[in-house]
C-alpha cells in the first residue's frame, strides 16, 4: 500500500492512482485516526496548556522565594537565611476541629495569634536589623511567597494525578480553572512587589479612610497592632480605629472594638472596608449597608458583631469595590478616588445619622502597608 | 521539586509538537501541489479546494509557531515591577509635587523638602498610587 503510494508520489507507478482517490485515502486515515485517538490528542493538547501554566507558576514561585530571600538578607545578621525561608514557605496553621462548633471561634483566634507570634518571633531573630514596620512587611511577604508555593504545589498535584490516572475529568476541570489560577498568581506577584517595597495596597482602603478622618490628630496604640484617635466631625465626637501603620498588618479590630465599646456607648458605629467587586462593576465605587464590613477568616467579625449586639449599637458598613488583584497590589487611581468618596460619605453619614455632640466609632479595616 | 522522579517530571516536550507541525506542513504542501495539478488538468473546483485546504494548513502551522514564540517569550521574561508614584503636598504653601515612589515612603509620612517655598519643613505624602501609562489607541 505505502509502496504504491510512494511510487505514485514519485510518478513511477505502473497503475497511477488519481489524485481524488489519494485524497480520499488521506482523509479516511485522518478520520480513523481521530476516531481512535481523537480524545487522546485533545487531552494531550490540554496537558500542554496545563504544563505551560504550571511552568509559569513555578517561575513565579521561584521569584517569590528569591524576593523574600533578598529582603531577609538585607535585614539579616545571618549570612544565609534560606533554611529559615524554606521552613516558612511550608508553614501551616492546622484548623481546629469543628464537629462541636461551640467555642471554635476562640480556639481559632488563639491558634492564629500563636502562629503570628511564632512567625514574628522567628522573623525578629533572623531579620534582627529590621524595624517593626519592615518586620511586618517581611511577615506578609513570606505569607504571599508561601501562598504562591502552595498554589504551585496544588496545581502540580492535580496535573500529576491527571497524568498518572488518565482521569479526563480531573484534566478538563483543571484546564477550565487555568485562567482563574493565572489571575490569582498574577495578583500574588503584584503583592510580592507591594510588600517588598512597602507600597500601599487596595485592601488598605478602609484603613486609609480612617487615617484621612483622623488626620492631623495623633493616633495612639491600643491593643494588639491597633491604634485609636479622637477627632471631631461637624460637632460629633468621633473615635477612629485602625491597624497600626506603616507596616503591613490588619491588626485585631475585633479585640480593639470590644475594648473601646466596653468603656463607652456609641450612637453609631461605622465600619469601612474594601470589598470584592463582581465582574462588570467599576472599581472604586462605594456602596453601603448594615452589618460588620470586614472580611478574613471570621474571628474578628464575630467579636465585633458580639460586642455591638451586646450594647445594641447601630452598625453601618461602607465598602469600596475592587478586584482581587487591586486588593493585594499597589493602590490604583480608581481605588484612591473611591477612598476619597468613602471618606466624604462617612462624614455625611455621621452628619445625617448622629445628633450634635453624639459619639461615633469609625473602624477602618484593612492592611496598613504604606499607610500611617 | 519536580524532576527528581521521572514520573513526576513535567517538561515542555515540544519534539512531538514539531513532529505534528512537520506532518501538517507536508500534507498542506501536498494538497497545494495536487491542487495546482488538478487545475492544470481543468479540474478547477477540486483543485481550488485542495489549494484552499493546503493554505489553511500552512496558516495553522504559522499560527501555532507564533503562539509558541509568544509563550516562550512570556516564560523567559522576568515580571516587570509596578510604576508607583508618590504625591506630596507642602504643609506651608500647598505646593503639590509627584515623583517615583522611594522605599520608606508612606501616606501621611514625611516627604521631601518643598522646592517652592523653601520652608525647610518636609512635605506631607498625600497619596501613593500605581501609575498606569495611557493606553495606545489603534486606528
Judge: B7–A160 Cβ closer than 8 Å, yes or no. Answer: yes
Q: What per-residue confidence (pLDDT) applies to B139?
A: 47
Helix (H) / strand (E) element for B51: namely helix B44-76
Spatial distance between the Cα atoms of A148 and A65, rounded to a whole number of angstroms: 9
Spatial distance between the Cα atoms of B43 and B40, rounded to a whole number of angstroms: 7
**Residue A326 reports pLDDT greater than 90:** yes
Share of chain B above pLDDT 70, in %: 78
**Residue B8 reports pLDDT greater than 50:** no
N- to C-terminal Cα distance for chain A?
81
Contacts of B103 in chain A (CB under 8 A): 197-198
Residue B121 sits in a domain whose CATH number is 2.20.28
**Residue A62 reports pLDDT greater than 60:** yes
Judge: A370–B74 Cβ closer than 8 Å, yes or no. Answer: no
Is B70 domain-assigned? yes
The mean pLDDT value for A276-299 works out to 95
Is B114 domain-assigned? yes
Number of CB atoms found within 10 A of residue A160's CB: 17
Strands B110-113 and B96-100: unpaired
Judge: A211–B7 Cβ closer than 8 Å, yes or no. Answer: no
Spatial distance between the Cα atoms of A76 and A96, rounded to a whole number of angstroms: 34
- Please check whether residues B69 and B90 belong to one and the same domain: no
Contacts of B132 in chain A (CB under 8 A): 332-333
Which residue, B34, B29, B37, is CA-closest to B55? B29
Of A26, A190, A199, nearest to B101 by CB-CB distance is A199
Of B74, B75, B128, nearest to A331 by CB-CB distance is B128
Residues A284 and A338: beta-carbon distance below 8 Å? yes
Contacts of A199 in chain B (CB under 8 A): 82, 84, 101, 128, 130
Give B40-51 pLDDT, tens digit per residue.
887 778 788 888
Q: What per-residue confidence (pLDDT) applies to A16?
A: 61
B4 dihedral zone (left: phi>0; alpha: psi -120 to 50; beta)? alpha
Residues A353 and A268: beta-carbon distance below 8 Å? yes
- The alpha-carbon gap from A197 to the nearest alpha carbon of chain B, in Å, equals 6
- Please check whether residues B38 and B87 belong to one and the same domain: no
The mean pLDDT of chain A is 92
Is B123 domain-assigned? yes
Of A52, A189, A371, nearest to B107 by CB-CB distance is A371
Is B139 domain-assigned? no
Q: What per-residue confidence (pLDDT) applies to A223?
A: 86
- Please check whether residues B101 and B60 belong to one and the same domain: no
- Please check whether residues B101 and B123 belong to one and the same domain: yes
- Please check whether residues B21 and B69 belong to one and the same domain: yes
Is B138 domain-assigned? no
Q: What per-residue confidence (pLDDT) applies to A300?
A: 96
N- to C-terminal Cα distance for chain B?
48
Spatial distance between the Cα atoms of A184 and A178, rounded to a whole number of angstroms: 10
**A21-25, A70-74, B3-7 — which is least confidently predicted?**
B3-7
Q: What per-residue confidence (pLDDT) applies to A124?
A: 93
Of A156, A193, A372, nearest to B106 by CB-CB distance is A372
Q: Following DSSP, what letter does each residue of A231-298 receive, concatenated?
A: EEETTEEEEEEEE--SSS----HHHHHHHHHHH---SEEEEEEEEEPPTTSPTT-EEEEES----SSS
Q: Which of B75, B92, B117 finishes a domain?
A: B75
- Please check whether residues B59 and B106 belong to one and the same domain: no
- Please check whether residues B20 and B65 belong to one and the same domain: yes
Which grid coordinates are listed for A164? 498518572
Give A183-226 pLDDT, tens digit per residue.
999 999 999 999 999 999 999 999 999 999 999 999 999 989 99
Of B46, B71, B105, nearest to A20 by CB-CB distance is B46
B64 reaches A (C-beta below 8 A) = no
Is B137 domain-assigned? no
Q: What per-residue confidence (pLDDT) applies to B14?
A: 65
Of B38, B75, B107, nearest to A59 by CB-CB distance is B75
- Please check whether residues B54 and B17 belong to one and the same domain: yes
Judge: B79–A54 Cβ closer than 8 Å, yes or no. Answer: no
Q: Which of B3, B5, B9, B10 to mutate to test the interface with A (most CBs of A within 10 A)?
A: B10
Q: What per-residue confidence (pLDDT) applies to B44?
A: 79
Residues A149 and A90: beta-carbon distance below 8 Å? yes
**Residue B6 reports pLDDT greater than 60:** no
Burial of A83 from C-beta contacts in 10 A (0-12 / 13-18 / 19+):
exposed
Spatial distance between the Cα atoms of A124 and A75, rounded to a whole number of angstroms: 10
B12 reaches A (C-beta below 8 A) = yes
Q: What per-residue confidence (pLDDT) applies to A3?
A: 65
Contacts of B81 in chain A (CB under 8 A): 193
Is B1 domain-assigned? no
Spatial distance between the Cα atoms of A231 and B85, rounded to a whole number of angstroms: 29
Which residue, B107, B103, B84, is CA-closest to A209? B107
**DSSP 3-state of A315:** strand
**Residue B78 reports pLDDT greater than 80:** no
More confident residue, A146 or B31: A146
Q: Among A21-35, A127-141, B80-94, name the most confident range.
A: A127-141
- The alpha-carbon gap from A67 to the nearest alpha carbon of chain B, in Å, equals 12
B84 reaches A (C-beta below 8 A) = yes
The mean pLDDT value for A351-367 works out to 95
Count: domains in chain B: 2
The mean pLDDT value for A4-13 works out to 63
Q: What per-residue confidence (pLDDT) applies to B82?
A: 72
Give B107-133 pLDDT, tens digit per residue.
999 999 888 887 777 899 999 999 876
Long-range contacts, B14-18 (Cβ 8 Å, 24+): B14/B68, B16/A44, B17/A48, B17/B64, B17/B68
Helices (H), A127-252: 132-165, 168-197, 205-214
Q: Whole domain around residue B104: which residue ranges?
A: 83-131
Amino acid at each position: 500500500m505505502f509502496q504504491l503510494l510512494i511510487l505514485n508520489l514519485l510518478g513511477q507507478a505502473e497503475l497511477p492512482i488519481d489524485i481524488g482517490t489519494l485524497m480520499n485515502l488521506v482523509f479516511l486515515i485522518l478520520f480513523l485516526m481521530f476516531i481512535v485517538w481523537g480524545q487522546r490528542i485533545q487531552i494531550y493538547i490540554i496537558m500542554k496548556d496545563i504544563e505551560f501554566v504550571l511552568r509559569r507558576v513555578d517561575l513565579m514561585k521561584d521569584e517569590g522565594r528569591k524576593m523574600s530571600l533578598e529582603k531577609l538578607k538585607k535585614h539579616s545578621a545571618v549570612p544565609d537565611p534560606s533554611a529559615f525561608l524554606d521552613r516558612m514557605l511550608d508553614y501551616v496553621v492546622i484548623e481546629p476541629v469543628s464537629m462541636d462548633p461551640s467555642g471554635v471561634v476562640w480556639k481559632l483566634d488563639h491558634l492564629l495569634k500563636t502562629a503570628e507570634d511564632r512567625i514574628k518571633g522567628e522573623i525578629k531573630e533572623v531579620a534582627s536589623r529590621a524595624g517593626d514596620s519592615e518586620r511586618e512587611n517581611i511577615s506578609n511577604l513570606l505569607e504571599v511567597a508561601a501562598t504562591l508555593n502552595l498554589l504551585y504545589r496544588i496545581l502540580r498535584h492535580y496535573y500529576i494525578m491527571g497524568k498518572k490516572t488518565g482521569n479526563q475529568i480531573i484534566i478538563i476541570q483543571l484546564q477550565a480553572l487555568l485562567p482563574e489560577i493565572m489571575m490569582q498568581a498574577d495578583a500574588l506577584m503584584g503583592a510580592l512587589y507591594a510588600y517588598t517595597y512597602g507600597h500601599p495596597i487596595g485592601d488598605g482602603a478602609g484603613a486609609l479612610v480612617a487615617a484621612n478622618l483622623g488626620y492631623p490628630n495623633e493616633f495612639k496604640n491600643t491593643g494588639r497592632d491597633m491604634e485609636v484617635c479622637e477627632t471631631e466631625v461637624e460637632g460629633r465626637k468621633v473615635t477612629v480605629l485602625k491597624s497600626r501603620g506603616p507596616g503591613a498588618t490588619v491588626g485585631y479590630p475585633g479585640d480593639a472594638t470590644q475594648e473601646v465599646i466596653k468603656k463607652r456607648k456609641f450612637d453609631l458605629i461605622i465600619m469601612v472596608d474594601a470589598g470584592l467587586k463582581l465582574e462588570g462593576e467599576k472599581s472604586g465605587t462605594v456602596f453601603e449597608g448594615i452589618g460588620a464590613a470586614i472580611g478574613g477568616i471570621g474571628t474578628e467579625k464575630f467579636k465585633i458583631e458580639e460586642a455591638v449586639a451586646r450594647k445594641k449599637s447601630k452598625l453601618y458598613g461602607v465598602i469600596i469595590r475592587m478586584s482581587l488583584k487591586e486588593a493585594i497590589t499597589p493602590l490604583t487611581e480608581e481605588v484612591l478616588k473611591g477612598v476619597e468618596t468613602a471618606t466624604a460619605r462617612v462624614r455625611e453619614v455621621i452628619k445625617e445619622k448622629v445628633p450634635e455632640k453624639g459619639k461615633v466609632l469609625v473602624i477602618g479595616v484593612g492592611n496598613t502597608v504604606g499607610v500611617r | 521539586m519536580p524532576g527528581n522522579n521521572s514520573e513526576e517530571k513535567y517538561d515542555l516536550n515540544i519534539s512531538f509538537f514539531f513532529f505534528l507541525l512537520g506532518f501538517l506542513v507536508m500534507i498542506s504542501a501536498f494538497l497545494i501541489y495536487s491542487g495546482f495539478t488538478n487545475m492544470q488538468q481543468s479540474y478547477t473546483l477540486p483543485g481550488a479546494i485542495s489549494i484552499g485546504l493546503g493554505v489553511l494548513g500552512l496558516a495553522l502551522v504559522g499560527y501555532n509557531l507564533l503562539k509558541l514564540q509568544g509563550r516562550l517569550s512570556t516564560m523567559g521574561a522576568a515580571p516587570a515591577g509596578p510604576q508607583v508614584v508618590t504625591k506630596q503636598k507642602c504643609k506651608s504653601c500647598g505646593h503639590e509635587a509627584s515623583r517615583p515612589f522611594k522605599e520608606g515612603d508612606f501616606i501621611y509620612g514625611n516627604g521631601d523638602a518643598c522646592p517652592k517655598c523653601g520652608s525647610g519643613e518636609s512635605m506631607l505624602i498625600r497619596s501613593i498610587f500605581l501609575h498606569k501609562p495611557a493606553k495606545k489607541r489603534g486606528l
